[in-house]
Amino acid sequence: MYIEVISFGLSTALFLILGLVMLTGQRDNLPKIMLAIASLASAAWSGAVTYLAAYGNLLSSTLLLESTLLLELLRSLAWFAFLLVMLRTAFKSSDQVNKNFKITFAGLSVFVVGLMLLVLYRVSGGSFFELVAGNDVLIGHLLISIGGIVIIEQLYRNTSEDHRWALKYLWIGIGGMFAYDFYLYSDAFLFQRIDNELWNARGFIHAMVVPLIAIAIKREMQWSLGEDSIDIFLSRRIVFHTTTLLGAGTYLIFIGFGGYYVRDMGGEWGVVAQATFLFAAVMILTVLLFSSKIRARLKVAIDKHFFHYKYDYREEWLRIIRTLSSDDGASKSLHVRAIRSLAQIIDSPGGLLVMERDNGCFESDEHWNYSSMNIRESADSPFIRFLSEQQFVISLDEYNKDPDMYTRLGPLEIPDWISSNKDAWLVVPLMLQDHMLGFVVLLRSPAHERYFNWEDSDLLKTAGRQAASHLAQYDAAQALVSAKRFEEVNKLSAFIVHDVKNMVGQLSMVVSNASKHKNNPMFIDDAIITVENSVTKMNRLLVRLRGGGDSDKTHPISLCDLLEDSIRICTKAGTLPIPILNCLNQNVMVTADKDRMSANIAHIIQNAQDATDDTGSITVRLKKQGEFAIIEVEDTGEGMDESFIHDRLFQPFESTKGTMGIGVFQVREYVHKLGGQLDVESVVDKGTTFRLHVPLSKSQETTNNPHVLHLNEHELRKR
């Protein structure tokens, strides 16, 4: 009795302290409150047991005995409540989840209360141990302890890696408490009596739990910050793990068998049965261990189901995407980044990318820390066929050890250039849907022999798919660019053919007309105008042909002067209406090629003239707005509807019928190139405004600073 008093007394004191500490400070935190309640319930129960142990013999009433039994059950219920509250925070709260938790808690409550009623029913005198040892009550206790361990397992599994550091002590502590109860009651169930020593130790065991809980609380300071901040659990899936149930079930079956044999067959048979069981278990274990196939399968199964994932997939995935999509300067091309994104997953120091070419062969593309070499694999070689059909990551170690593992899936021959490289480790296919774009050969990690398993393979395969889609997208973009260039050249040449044809036509008419009219001065005048017309067209052609080239000589130009020039060009042939120039700021400088800028603006003005009746008006405005010079060409012409602006105006070389020359598309391209933009506003039958925003020259400040202005004013006053 003396040991029992000390044991449970210690437990009472520690739980009481823990419970009181938990009640201090903020109380708006549900898990904290539940922990306080559970601790105090434990303290009450322990205290009752202690009191019973110390003075039980002196008492005549069974009231205390009853309440002790009930308090134990209440304590269990309080811990369940705490664990369930913790478990609920582990999952993204949804109504369904909340509902499930409520149902679970209600079920447990009904069970515990039922057990309490059973205990009350049983209380009809007799000693404490006999009473507890009633079979049905024992089973209830057993089930409660198993339930506690199951919830602990769910909690542990659904806690993120970061928080396990802090919370593992909580799980070990509370789990230990329930595990000990399980041990105690299974033993009691087997031998139909509660073992005195085990019972006495129970107080100490429970007392040991308290410091563990305290460590957990200290490490998880967030507890005091309110429920919202309990972002302890980051589990994305609600997974029910059944390891505990399996383990507990197996243990109970063994205990049960053992117990029945011992009881029914007598001591002699008991030993025989025990030895047989043990030997059979060792035999099975040995068979399993020595069969590599079964062992490998078992390993995969155990890895998959019982151990944590080797990778933090969220992290890995973010890293893969980051490596693939960010040009960090360290690697030149996407192709190198594709190799790196795969290599870093398994700490490989380098790799070689082999891509499918237009001719159907697979040729070496880029390499990263891999001695470059020229490789060519035909698409119907067994190696390529195996990769693209099986979509398998080939581990060369595995292949060398046991080629059958691969060849039973299909014929496979590792090419010499891979097998001769001792550092080559893995071959990862890059699959785009069912088509293999290429593959990556990865080098072995020098630091340590890494164990390659299904998980590496799965991740590499998926990462390979991701890399493949990036590579395919890149290729498509490249193809699009070259197709666009082709189209541009095609359209440009069609345009040139058209214009040259027109000019040749006109000039040959001049020649044939000259044979009849060469003595007529009026014809000579007209012929000269025709020739001049052709020269203008040829000049525009030249501008167009040069267009896009970087041969521009850019220097600061005064836009006001330039606009005057452009207007002069547009009105030389007597074209109406004559644009009105309105330079709101005289001194507006931009950095551009003078001829191209002038041709572009002239083009916009000509457009306006074409669209406007001779009686209409065109206004060209120049002003400054922030960092930009704004050139506005406003006409009162017929305007354009929205669909025309949207669909046709900015189409490059929309049609080859072209006295228009360079096209609005090219004007916009040029303005973009200068860092500006081109806006169009148009109302049908009212008119159109083209607005060019061109960045001001950097030297603007020196030519237009207030100081100079001030001087000018000063000079003016002098005059």
Partner 1 sequence: MSPKILIVDDDEGMRTQLKWGLEGYEVITADSRTHAIEQFELHHPPLVTLDLGLPPDVEGTTEGFATLKAILLKAPETKVVVVSGSEDMGNAEIARSNGAFEYYPKPVDLDRLQHVIELAYADYQSGS
Q: Is 517 in the site for partner 1 (CB under 8 A)?
A: yes
Site for partner 1 (CB under 8 A): which residue of 437, 463, 560, 611?
611
What is the footprint of partner 1 within residues 476-505 (CB under 8 A)?
494, 498, 501-502, 504-505
| Number of chain residues interacting with partner 1 (CB under 8 A) | 33
587 Cβ contact partners less than 8 Å away, ≥ 6 residues apart:
558, 560, 703, 704
Report the relative pairing of strands 687-695 and 628-635 from DSSP bridges: antiparallel
Which residues, in sequence order, are CB contacts of 85 under 8 Å at separation 6+?
30, 31, 34
CB atoms within 10 A of CB 670: 24
Q: Are 158 and 87 in contact (CB under 8 A)?
A: yes
- Shortest distance in whole angstroms from residue 572 CB to partner 1: 12
| Contact between 162 and partner 1 per CB under 8 A | no
The verdict on 682 binding partner 1 (CB under 8 A) reads no
From 102-110, 449-457, 459-467, 520-528, span contacting partner 1 (CB under 8 A): 520-528
Q: Considering the rule CB under 8 A, would residue 576 count as an interface residue with partner 1? A: no
Q: How far is the CB of 515 from partner 1 (least distance, A)?
A: 10
Single residue of 488, 638, 669, 681 touching partner 1 by CB under 8 A? 638
Shorter beta-carbon distance to partner 1: residue 143 or 500 = 500
Taking the complex as a whole, the smallest distance from the CB of residue 494 to partner 1 amounts, in Å, to 7
- Rounded (to 5) percent helix, strand, coil in the chain: 65, 10, 25
Q: Which is nearer to partner 1, 340 or 537 (CB)?
A: 537
| Smaller CB separation from partner 1, 122 or 517 | 517
Taking the least distance from each CB to partner 1, the nearer of 304 and 572 is: 572
Instruction: Supply the minimum distance, in Å, between the C-beta of residue 678 and partner 1.
Output: 19
Among residues 631, 532, 528, 546, the alpha carbon closest in space to that of 593 is found at: 546
Contact with partner 1 (CB under 8 A): which of 529, 545, 580, 711?
Answer: 529
Contact 679/687 with Cβ under 8 angstroms? Answer: no
Please, which residues have CB within 8 angstroms of residue 697's CB and are 6 or more apart in sequence? 556, 589, 590, 591
Stretch of residues binding partner 1 (CB under 8 A), selected from 44-52, 314-322, 323-331, 519-527 = 519-527
DSSP codes, 546-614: HTT-S---EEEEEHHHHHHHHHHHHHTT--SSPPEEEESSS--EEEEEHHHHHHHHHHHHHHHHHHS-T
By CB under 8 A, tell whether 686 contacts partner 1.
no
Q: Identify which of residues 432 and 514 has a Cβ nearer to partner 1 in the complex.
A: 514
Among 478, 659, 699, 702, binds partner 1 (CB under 8 A): 659
Q: Which is nearer to partner 1, 61 or 643 (CB)?
A: 643
Taking the C-alpha atoms of residue 663 and residue 655, their distance in angstroms, rounded to an integer, is 10
Residue 256 token pair: 């049960």
Residue 660 binds partner 1, judged by CB under 8 A = yes
The separation between the first and the last C-alpha atoms of the chain, rounded to the nearest angstrom, is: 121
Write down the least CB distance from residue 360 to partner 1, Å. 37
Q: Considering the complex, state which of residue 658 and residue 676 has its C-beta at the smaller distance from partner 1.
A: 658
Query: Is residue 637 close enough to count as binding partner 1 by CB under 8 A?
Result: yes
Q: Is the distance from CB of 59 to CB of 39 less than 8 angstroms?
A: no
Q: Are 45 and 93 in contact (CB under 8 A)?
A: no
- Rounded to whole angstroms, how far apart are CA atoms 514 and 528? 11
Q: For partner 1, which residue of 303, 363, 455, 526 counts as binding (CB under 8 A)?
A: 526
Binding range to partner 1, per CB under 8 A, among 24-32, 114-122, 392-400, 527-535: 527-535
CA dihedral in degrees (261, 266, 270, 272; nearest 10)?
Answer: -120
Q: Which is nearer to partner 1, 263 or 646 (CB)?
A: 646
Residue 579: other Cβ atoms inside 10 A = 22
Nearer to partner 1, 65 or 541 (CB): 541
Torsion of CA 666, 495, 611, 562, to 10 degrees: 50
Q: In what order do the strands lie in the sheet with 580-583?
A: 580-583, 618-625, 628-635, 687-695, 677-683
Q: Summarize as ranges the residues that interact with partner 1 (CB under 8 A).
A: 494, 498, 501-502, 504-506, 508-510, 512-513, 516-517, 523, 526-527, 529-530, 533-534, 573, 610-611, 637-638, 654-660
